[in-house]
Amino acid sequence: MKRTLTTCPYCGTGCAFYLVTDDAGKLVAVEPSTEHPVAKGQLCVKGWSAFEFVNHPDRLTVPLIRRNGKLEEASWNDALELVVRRLKEIRDRYGSNTLAFFSSAKTSNEENYLMMKLARAVFKTNNVDHCARLCHSSTVLGLATTFGSGAMTNSISCVEQSDCIFVTGSNTTEQHPLIGSRIIKAVQNGARLIVADNRKIRLARLADIHVRWLNGTDVPFVNAIMNVIISEGLEDREFIESRTENYEELKKIVARYPAEKAAEICRITPDEIRDVARMFASAERAMIIYSMGITQHTHGVDNVKSLANLAMLTGNVGRVGTGVNPLRGQNNVQGACDLGALPNVYSGYQKVTDPEIRAKFESAWGVRDLPSEVGHTVTTAINAAAEGELHGLYIMGENPMMSDPDLNHVREALGKID
């Protein structure tokens, strides 16, 4: 038997395991890594079954080309030649911006980098995006604005070292089971747990406080928490003065959200807001954990900024057991964003609209005239296709017919693409 170390292809927890192959090279099992800092010799049910698709009879093993309305098996050379020819024809006939490229949060950093380079360096378009647009793009923008980086501020190992964990918009034990188990262990070791979720999720059964506020009222809820903290003098003045900006502006904003007013908006009681504020602010090391229950809103960026403000207000950034920690839905949402599979930035979140940045990438790639306009997102690309403005779409490791909103609209749009 041969064992090959790799990363689980499911959620953003990032567990490592070994792929076990027999003497004939067939994948037969997985084994968790005992040395990996996240897995620690454990896997969830998704990880244990992660290898099963490899030998599944429905798995595609050769390219398919549609001929006379029917998909037929083809050689790799024929498939690649067709893709290159059709993309070039569309570019030459309609222009570069009638092409779009959907990269993937389930592929490697290198593949995402190559995809965005293909779009920009070869086909001269910034129409490149991936499914973070539908899940955690709010995190990237919100945390990049507040902290300078759109990623978790702390490692997963910090969870067990926190004194107070505030979970909102995350059914952690279901979606990120091994992180959920760390939260449970922290609670068993004495950490306080606050759960803000209008469902009675498993973690709610263990929570010191479970707030079932009205869905979509995240901003007034968090602003009211900050209002109580400031009103009762529970803020971390030293951290605020030495590490933050625009505190007076924040005070003015949250002053509009006293507990009584926010309670009416959120359909909870003022005391619930006060209890959350006092428990979070009084902890030595308090941590915020959230997921797509925070980001998948029209005001998702504001939700993320509010949570970041709460962490900074209480000095819970930059220390073990603290921080603002978004849990990603797929295994490489973070990497796909970091490597530039986004319509407005290159790798490292360097803006495509900046002439100096473009010149740097032109020099590195040995090309000229990189596009300067921000490209289509996943959602606007589909709309453009529906309007007949998009003629070619290259999709890697994504399925818009499952993940995008309004599938009837998506089906109609994709049907219009050349």
The pLDDT of residue 139: 85
CB 322 within 8 A of CB 287: yes
Provide the pLDDT for residue 149: 84
Report the CATH architecture of 2-48. Single Sheet (2.20)
Token pair for residue 361?
């990438």
- The helix-helix angle for 137-147 and 300-313 (nearest 10°) equals 40
Cα(373)–Cα(382) distance, integer angstroms: 18
**Closest by alpha carbon to 134, among 325, 380, 385, 393?**
380
SS3 231: helix
Neighbouring CB atoms inside 10 A of 14's CB total 20
Which residues are within 8 A (CB) of 101 and not within 5 positions of it... i.e. 6 or more apart? 115, 116, 118, 119, 123, 125, 127, 128, 129, 393, 394, 396
Residue 92 amino acid letter: D
Three-state DSSP state, 395? strand
pLDDT at residue number 247: 97
Query: How far, CA to CA in Å, does 294 sit from each of 79, 97, 137, 303, 393?
Result: 41, 32, 11, 6, 30
Residues near 239 by beta carbon (within 8 Å), at least 6 away in sequence: 312, 314, 315, 317
Each of the 418 residues of the chain gets a pLDDT tens digit; together they read 899 999 998 888 989 999 999 999 999 999 999 999 888 899 999 999 988 989 899 999 999 999 999 999 999 999 999 999 999 999 999 999 999 999 999 999 999 999 999 999 999 999 999 988 887 778 878 898 999 888 899 999 999 999 999 999 999 999 999 999 999 999 999 999 999 999 999 999 999 999 999 999 999 999 999 999 999 999 999 999 999 999 999 999 999 999 999 999 999 999 999 999 999 999 999 999 999 999 888 889 999 999 999 999 999 999 999 999 999 888 898 899 999 999 999 999 999 999 999 999 999 999 999 999 999 999 999 999 999 999 999 999 989 988 888 889 999 999 999 8
Q: What is the pLDDT of residue 406?
A: 86
CATH code linked to domain 98-133+334-415: 3.40.50.740
Question: What's the pTM value of the predicted model, to 2 decimals?
Answer: 0.87
Give me 47's structure tokens. 């990880």
Q: What is residue 214's DSSP assignment?
A: P
The CATH code of the domain at 155-326 is: 3.40.228.10
CA distance 28 to 262: 55
Domain boundaries, the chain: 2-48, 98-133+334-415, 155-326
Pairing state between β 27-32 and 16-21: antiparallel
